[in-house]
């Protein structure tokens, strides 16, 4: 049993979806396909939610009509005959649900409305994809993932009830393979015990694939992306990036922690815990070897560079010059935890502590208010956090050239800098 995850970019156009056919038809079975919404559909749905919540009903309807047209044209491009008809009927039902949520939107909590509407993207894309594969001879069963992924009602960031979900996987997903060797379902979405739709956080499809893969004891989970694999730096920021052929889960979780947007951070744990390998492959060129992430990989890595922009450096200083001892530190940490502000890098001195955090004004302002009861707080805006794993001095000199360094830390394997 293996899992393939296809993101929005891999099915952005009918041509792209057609190009996935050989990948899927040659795959080892049984196969679970976990699929995102087409292209940037989730962003478009977010715009619809925003309009509907503001009571801009006309705008919301216009945007919905545009979204519907794109999906219907996509289906007409790729499907024909009975498959087209069946897909159109299914899409009508899904879009009707969207219309209903639209009518309700202004009277309901924003995050709740968001999840009821945004889940439509994945339901539509998988409907088209499932019919397309059936039409082309890749017989498959379509599954509404909301019937198996049970979550709490923390809308937009729902937490999965793993015990319930695992049971549902055994009872509802496994039997589907008796009839078909491929099952296709949605990433990113789930449902509460009252059958309200939920979402697991943006880009959450990787996580769905990992979670289901671990519950199914898959032999491998493959994420199909538009890059050739995991690179040692963000190619939008650096030239001459190097593709990493094999890498350990440990290394990837470090990269994700320091801010690399390679794979959704929640993806790693379920797979690592079961010892299931994760492959990253390129859907544009499936013959490329990609990257294999596994538990016991003992490779020599190139320097891995992670750049986290838009950071704020907070300096917290004791007002009366008392030392920042363990008890004071834990008071400061408690305030960060209370406001759910994650510390990306920190250093303490005699009477102060400096911490680099994401620039989220909505969280920082109340945090500072609380801190100021006991401490003086200074802030440096618009700084960057640069992390280099497996560094050498040459690469650090190159990266820091022309920048002013506000803070630095080095361990044997990791060097970190706050720069401007």
**If residue 93 lies in a helix (H) or strand (E), which one and from where to where?**
helix 81-104
Q: Residue 8 or residue 14: which is nearer to Mg ion going by CB?
A: 8
Q: Residue 34 or residue 52: which is nearer to Mg ion going by CB?
A: 34
Site residues, Mg ion (CB under 5 A): 7-8, 36
User: In angstroms, rounded to a whole number, what is the distance separating the alpha carbons of residues 292 and 307?
Assistant: 23
* Nearest-approach distance from CB 49 to ligand ASP, in angstroms: 13
Q: Residue 148 or residue 388: which is nearer to ligand ASP going by CB?
A: 148
Q: 242: which 2 tokens?
A: 């190097």
Closest CA to 420 of 307, 336, 316: 307
Query: Which partner from the list Mg ion, ligand ASP, none does 265 bind, CB cut-off 5 to 8 Å by kind?
Result: none
Q: 182: which 2 tokens?
A: 């491929």
Find the residue with minimal CB distance to Mg ion: 8
For residue 393, the number of C-alpha atoms closer than 13 Å in the C-beta half-sphere is 0
Confirm or reject binding of residue 8 to ligand ASP (CB under 6 A).
yes
* Nearest-approach distance from CB 187 to Mg ion, in angstroms: 8
Return the SS3 of 120: helix
Query: Which partner from the list Mg ion, ligand ASP, none does 202 bind, CB cut-off 5 to 8 Å by kind?
Result: ligand ASP
* Nearest-approach distance from CB 66 to ligand ASP, in angstroms: 18
Q: Which of 61, 156, 196, 202 binds ligand ASP (CB under 6 A)?
A: 202
Quick note: the x/- pattern for ligand ASP over 258-297, rule CB under 6 A, is ----------------------------------------
* Nearest-approach distance from CB 160 to Mg ion, in angstroms: 18
Q: Residue 121 or residue 229: which is nearer to ligand ASP going by CB?
A: 121
User: In angstroms, rounded to a whole number, what is the distance separating the alpha carbons of residues 258 and 237?
Assistant: 16
Q: How many residues bind ligand ASP (CB under 6 A)?
A: 12
Question: Can you spell out the DSSP letters for 237-298?
Answer: T-SS--B-SEEEHHHHHHHHHTT--SS-GGGHHHHHHHT--EEEEETT-TTS--EEEESS--
Query: Which partner from the list ligand ASP, Mg ion, none does 188 bind, CB cut-off 5 to 8 Å by kind?
Result: ligand ASP
Question: Can you spell out the DSSP letters for 309-361?
Answer: EEEEEEEEEETT-----HHHHHHHHHHHHHTTPPPSEEEE-SSEEEEEEE--H
User: In angstroms, rounded to a whole number, what is the distance separating the alpha carbons of residues 170 and 215?
Assistant: 9
Quick note: the x/- pattern for ligand ASP over 91-130, rule CB under 6 A, is ------------------------------x---------
- Interface positions, 11-70, toward ligand ASP (CB under 6 A): 36-37, 42
* Nearest-approach distance from CB 187 to ligand ASP, in angstroms: 5
User: In angstroms, rounded to a whole number, what is the distance separating the alpha carbons of residues 192 and 52?
Assistant: 23
Closest CA to 262 of 289, 239, 241: 241
Query: Which partner from the list ligand ASP, Mg ion, none does 125 bind, CB cut-off 5 to 8 Å by kind?
Result: none
Positions that interact with ligand ASP (CB under 6 A): 7-8, 36-37, 42, 121, 187-188, 202-205
């Amino acid at each position: 049993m293996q899992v393939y995850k296809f993101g929005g970019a891999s099915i952005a156009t009918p041509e792209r979806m057609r190009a996935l056919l050989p990948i899927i038809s040659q795959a080892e079975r049984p196969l679970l396909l976990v699929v995102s919404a087409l292209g940037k559909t989730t962003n478009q749905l977010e715009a619809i939610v925003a309009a509907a919540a503001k009571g801009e009903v006309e705008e919301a309807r216009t945007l919905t009509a545009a979204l519907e047209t794109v999906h219907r044209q996509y289906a007409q491009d790729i499907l024909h005959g009975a498959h087209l008809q069946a897909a159109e009927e299914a899409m009508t039902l899904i879009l009707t649900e969207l219309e209903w949520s639209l009518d309700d939107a202004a009277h309901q909590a924003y995050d709740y409305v968001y999840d009821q509407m945004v889940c439509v993207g994945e339901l539509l894309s998988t409907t088209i994809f499932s019919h397309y594969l059936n039409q082309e001879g890749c017989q498959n069963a379509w599954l509404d993932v909301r019937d198996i992924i049970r979550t709490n009602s923390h809308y937009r960031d729902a937490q999965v009830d793993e015990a319930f979900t695992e049971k549902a996987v055994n009872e509802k997903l496994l039997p589907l393979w008796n009839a078909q060797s491929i099952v296709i379902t949605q990433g990113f979405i789930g449902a509460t015990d009252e059958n309200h739709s939920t979402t697991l956080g943006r880009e959450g499809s990787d996580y769905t694939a990992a979670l289901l893969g671990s519950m199914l004891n898959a032999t491998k989970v493959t994420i199909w992306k538009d890059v050739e694999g995991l690179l040692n730096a963000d190619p939008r920021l650096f030239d001459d990036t190097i593709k990493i052929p094999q890498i350990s889960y440990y290394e990837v979780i470090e990269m994700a922690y320091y801010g690399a947007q390679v794979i959704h951070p929640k993806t790693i744990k379920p797979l690592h815990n079961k010892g299931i390998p994760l492959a990253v492959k390129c859907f544009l060129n499936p013959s490329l070897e990609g990257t294999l992430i596994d538990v016991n990989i003992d490779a020599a890595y190139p320097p891995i560079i992670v750049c986290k922009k838009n950071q704020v450096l907070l300096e917290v200083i004791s007002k009366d010059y008392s030392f920042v001892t363990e008890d004071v530190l834990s008071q400061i940490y408690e305030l960060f935890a209370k406001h759910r502000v994650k510390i990306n890098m920190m250093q303490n001195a005699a009477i102060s502590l400096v911490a680099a955090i994401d620039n989220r004004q909505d969280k920082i302002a109340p945090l500072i208010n609380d801190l100021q009861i006991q401490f003086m707080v200074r802030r440096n805006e618009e700084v960057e956090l640069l992390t280099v794993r497996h560094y050498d001095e040459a690469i650090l000199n190159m990266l820091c050239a022309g920048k002013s360094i506000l803070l630095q830390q080095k361990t044997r394997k990791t060097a970190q800098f706050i720069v401007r």
